[in-house]
Amino acid sequence: MPITTARTLGDFMEASWGRSESLEGIGAVVGAVAEGARMVQRQVQAAALAGVLGATGETNVQGEAVQKLDAAGSDIFVETLIGAENVAAVGSEELENPVIGGSGASRRYVVQMDPVDGSSNIDVAVTIGSIFGIWRRPPGDPVTGAVLLRPGRDQAAACYVVYGSSTMLVVAAPGGVDGFTLDPESGEFLLTHPGIRIPGKCEYYSTNEGNFGKLDAPAQEAVSRLRRSHSLRYVGSLVADFHRNLLKGGIFLYPGDVRSPEGKLRLMYEANPLSYVAEQAGGAAYSATQRILDIQPERLHQRTPLILGNRAEVEQTVSIIRGG
Ligand code: AHG
Ligand code: MN
Ligand code: MN
């Protein structure tokens, strides 16, 4: 029996955050993410027809080839978020510097985003996503430097979108983690996964086994241990791998290696938001040396090793990687 009477995202946010002073106005930010996600989802579904396959021919600040959908997604979310009236700045994987919306008192949030995660999968119709970290901006703080580089533990909320066999928006806030499924008919995100908690049993491990030879001995030992007792599931889109592990139980790891000690994934708009979601769902997230959410950022696009998922599995894996 299809869910047709589920609560809409808007009703849920009003009921959950409408009277919360600390989260005042955050509904408009998540609503702007949902609005942008509907537009990106239409392009993802049409992709070739929408002319968003392939690369733009440019490289971004990461030195990576920019896919047409990367650029289109970044533009869409910048527009909906800055248009939300209460966003002071948006940092994007695709932009060297943040877009400043303004410093008025009503602009009380700063968003860091990966507008399209899993770009290498766009052209082959494999699940991709979008990731957002949302920080409160202390009233009166100038919209520069420090307010844009706050540790992940200061996030007011975090959310991600998965454009897969269905399109889901997962939102984490102090009250917990809740999942909403896009109803293609109405265009509404409907509450289908209330109160998400990561299962106690860790079924899967997700890592790029092709990098095994580049890992140092402790990291190789950690991966070998997981290989002996878990099923490997690796999509190549962090948000898709994380979402499966969140719902079914699993651990994702992209460690540093001998060539890239800081790993590949970005702290501000990949590791921080998903680590916030993981911890709110009862999981854990480390860089191998410390809790992700405690890292004091220094640069907008800095990278970090990332191990996240089931708390017990993550803690054991990190202990091995540390040579414990
Ligand atoms: P993005 O498309 O935003 O650059 O992110 C891609 C990331 C992440 O989604 C994924 O887990 C990882 O790249 C895969 O890297 P490898 O291809 O090196 O495994
Ligand atoms: Mn990404
Ligand atoms: Mn990306």
Q: How far is the CA of 16 from the centre of ligand 3 (A)?
A: 30
> Is 67 a pocket residue for ligand 1 (Cβ < 6 Å)?
no
* Ligand 1 pocket: which of 119, 130, 131 to mutate (most atoms within 8 A of CB): 119
Q: Whose CA is nearest to atom 6 of ligand 1?
A: 118
pLDDT at 12: 95
Q: How far is the CA of 237 from the centre of ligand 3 (A)?
A: 9
pTM of the model: 0.96
Q: What average pLDDT does the segment 178-202 reach?
A: 96
Q: Whose CA is nearest to atom 12 of ligand 1?
A: 236
Please tell me the distance from the alpha carbon of residue 55 to that of residue 65, in angstroms, as a whole number.
Answer: 7
Check whether 1 has a pLDDT greater than 70.
no
**Weakest mean pLDDT among 52-66, 154-168, 193-207:** 52-66
pLDDT at 324: 67
Q: How far is CA 247 from CA 113, 174, 202, in A?
A: 22, 19, 10
> Is 208 a pocket residue for ligand 1 (Cβ < 6 Å)?
yes
pLDDT band at 53 (very low <50, low <70, confident <90, very high): confident
* Ligand 1 pocket: which of 237, 241, 266, 301 to mutate (most atoms within 8 A of CB): 237
pLDDT in tens, 258-269: 899 999 999 999
Q: How far is the CA of 237 from the centre of ligand 1 (A)?
A: 6
Could you give the domains of the chain?
A: 9-193 (3.30.540.10), 204-321 (3.40.190.80)
pLDDT above 70 covers a percentage of the chain that reads 98
pLDDT in tens, 210-259: 999 999 999 999 999 999 999 999 999 999 999 999 999 999 999 999 89
Q: How far is the CA of 118 from the centre of ligand 1 (A)?
A: 5
What average pLDDT is seen over the chain?
94
Helix 9-17 with 26-46: angle, nearest 10 deg: 160
pLDDT at 11: 95
pLDDT at 317: 97
Check whether 2 has a pLDDT greater than 80.
no
Using the atom order of ligand 1, give the atom closest to the CA of residue 62: 4
> Is 318 a pocket residue for ligand 1 (Cβ < 6 Å)?
no
pLDDT above 90 covers a percentage of the chain that reads 79
Q: How far is the CA of 266 from the centre of ligand 3 (A)?
A: 10
pLDDT at 24: 84
pLDDT band at 4 (very low <50, low <70, confident <90, very high): low
pLDDT in tens, 95-145: 999 999 998 889 999 999 999 999 999 989 999 999 999 999 988 888 887
Q: How far is the CA of 177 from the centre of ligand 3 (A)?
A: 23
Closest by alpha carbon to 269, among 235, 310, 304?
A: 304
More confident residue, 185 or 19: 185
pLDDT at 107: 93
pLDDT at 158: 98
